[in-house]
Amino acid sequence: MPSDTTAAVGSAADLLAALPPSPAVWCSGLRKQYGRRTAVDDVSFTVQRGEVLGLLGPNGAGKTSVIKMLLGLVRPDAGEVMLLGRPARDPLARTGVGYLPELFRYQPWLTAAEVLALHVRLARVRVPAAEQRDCLTLVGLAERADDRVGEFSKGMQQRLGLAVALVARPELVVLDEPTSALDPIGRVDVRDLVLSLKARGVTVLLNSHLIGEVERVCDQVLILDGGRVAASGTLDELLGQQEVRLHLGGVDARAEARLRAGGPLSRSGDWFTVAVPADDAGTTVPQLVRDLVGLGVSVHAVEPGRISLEERLLGILRREPGDGRS
Amino acid sequence: MTALTVAALTLREASRRRVLWALVVLTAALLALSAWGFSRLAGLETSQGTLTSGEARLVASQLLNLVMFGMSLIAALGTAFLAGPTLAGEIESGMALAVLARPVRRSAVLLGKWLGLVAFGCGFVAVAGLAQFLVVRATVGYWPPSPLSGLALLAAQTVVLLTLALLLSSVVSTMASGIVAVGLFGATWVAGVVGGVGEALGNDGVARVGTVSRILLPTDGLWRGAMHAFQDPTALSQFGFQNSGFPFLSEAPLTVAYLVWAGVWVAMVWGLTAFSFRLRDI
């Protein structure tokens, strides 16, 4: 009997191990009401392990509330959250989570190194002192490790917050407006940091107003407006096709047919716009230009165009004005 | 584990904040003043001639209680103003966000803060109280009959007040919680004095004011028990001070039932705090 049991347990363990890893974040039907104002309404999304999700939306869209509900800081009125495969009701679900809050403030009477040591203890992870120092070096605070946090500028406190989020070897890092107090160099540092996390397979949830940053580093984007999900998907899905604008002379029927073969066509005087599929490998446009020249068309200008995330975001938000926006 | 980490953090906070220095300065001032006062007491000439040794002991008893009341007030103010910022202040400033997003239970964080404050308050009472006893002994040669149980009751009073301050700081703002806690502490003491006067006058209605307030907030009851442990029983009975209603003498020791009630009170208020802290959106 015992050997049977062992075998059964072993095969169950094999089965479990063969399953794909649970998502880093899974939430369903999140809702939160503050008095009569609905801050978050029926928000559901999933972030797979190793993905970088950008959270976008105007002020008061409910981004920070969603983040706080994921981390158990705010109790949702409805909905469920799973973090790294555990229900978020269980505090242990946050063992592998690093968090930089939007309102970052650390014990002013501790030194930077002491703040990191405190968070390592709270996270119940063994991280050698040297590795903790490396974390401070990574955010540019190596020289200030033994200074009290009370003497730090806002920007330095935010850098310390980044180190706190990274120090306990997280599998999921939640960054809520990580660059709000940083100078342009600091912003580039944060971008590089997110990219290096992504390269190491760490999942990142990034809430930022800097759409350009989100566009550069994120795989997935979730746009919130008035507490609801206004749009979500990969960047390619959200931004749709690319387009190319051509200024042409001497276009005849054959040339127009060739243009149409490249993708949906629109014309305004001598300017032709061809929508190119998003999954284009980069050969469509050069081939098109070569063929047009071959057909005797004079090509004055070729302008590649892509709808930016900013345009897309503004388009979405203007089309669906939020109810709860202040 | 979390609770111990947070308790150590709370103690470190107390030691590095100005509260500690304020306490040290206030206590030193009180000790110096009382040393000066007690040294004048020995061989004091009054209108009825020099104080007899019995009279001197009685006066020393009263004065010690008076000074210890000052001490308990410092402990009360100190811990209440430490307990306030520790919850409400950290939530308001955002300091609690990064800590509570760690794999910790809120009740463990609260327990840690409470333990840290209890250690701080009890440590203060023990050190300052003992120093005061030594001052009195050096100046007038008086040593209280049960100094340890007296200090323990004084420490218990501090624990009651800081538990109340923690509860308040989980529902109202930082300053408000400190002020309300100290205000309630003072109000209970006054109610205790009123009750004592009622007893002296044989007015049950007035006497009940003290009893009821001592049950609602056990600080004054514990304080009276501590006073009883500090004062000289022989001097007291010799001069017939029973039922005089004097605010710095206590006629009876505490009953076990009252001590149990104080323990239950602390547990109940702690539980309420944990409940309200668990539900709170940070």
Instruction: Tell me if A94 and B103 make a contact (CB, 8 A cut-off).
Output: yes
Q: Is the pLDDT of residue B249 over 70?
A: no
Model pLDDT, residue A21 = 79
* Residue with more model confidence, A161 or B182: A161
Cα A126 to Cα A119, A131, A168, A284, distances in angstroms: 11, 10, 8, 53
- Among A227, A228, A226, A206, smallest CA distance to A309 is for A206
- Closest CB from A97, A103, A164 relative to B94: A103
Chain A interface test: which of B86, B91, B97 (most A C-beta within 10 Å): B97
Instruction: Tell me if A103 and B282 make a contact (CB, 8 A cut-off).
Output: no
Lowest mean pLDDT among A57-66, A271-280, B156-165: A271-280
CB < 8 Å to B281, chain A: 68, 73-75
Model pLDDT, residue A27 = 95
Instruction: Tell me if A109 and B1 make a contact (CB, 8 A cut-off).
Output: no
A68 touches chain B (CB under 8 A): yes
A36 touches chain B (CB under 8 A): no
- Residues 6 or more apart whose CB falls under 8 angstroms from that of A130 comprise none
What are B224-239's pLDDT values in tens digits?
A: 888 888 877 766 665 5
Instruction: Tell me if A109 and B12 make a contact (CB, 8 A cut-off).
Output: yes
Question: How far does the CA of residue A83 sit from the closest CA of chain B (Å)?
Answer: 12
Q: Which residue of B has its CA nearest to A71?
A: B101
Domains present along chain A, CATH in parentheses: 25-237 (3.40.50.300), 241-306 (3.30.70)
Report strand pairing: A172-176 vs A203-207. parallel
What are B137-155's pLDDT values in tens digits?
A: 888 778 888 889 889 999 9
Q: Which residue of B has its CA nearest to A32?
A: B281
Distance CA A231, CA A76 (A): 21
CB < 8 Å to B100, chain A: 72-73
The residue written with tokens 């107390």 in the block is B14
Q: Is the pLDDT of residue B240 over 80?
A: no
Q: Write phi, then psi, for B143 (nearest 5 degrees).
A: -125, 125
For residue A61, give the DSSP letter.
Answer: S
Q: Name the residue range of residue B165's domain.
A: 2-279
Question: How far does the CA of residue A161 sit from the closest CA of chain B (Å)?
Answer: 8
* Residue with more model confidence, A152 or A16: A152
Rg of chain A, C-alpha, whole Å? 25
Q: Is the pLDDT of residue A323 over 70?
A: no
Distance CA B58, CA B142 (A): 10
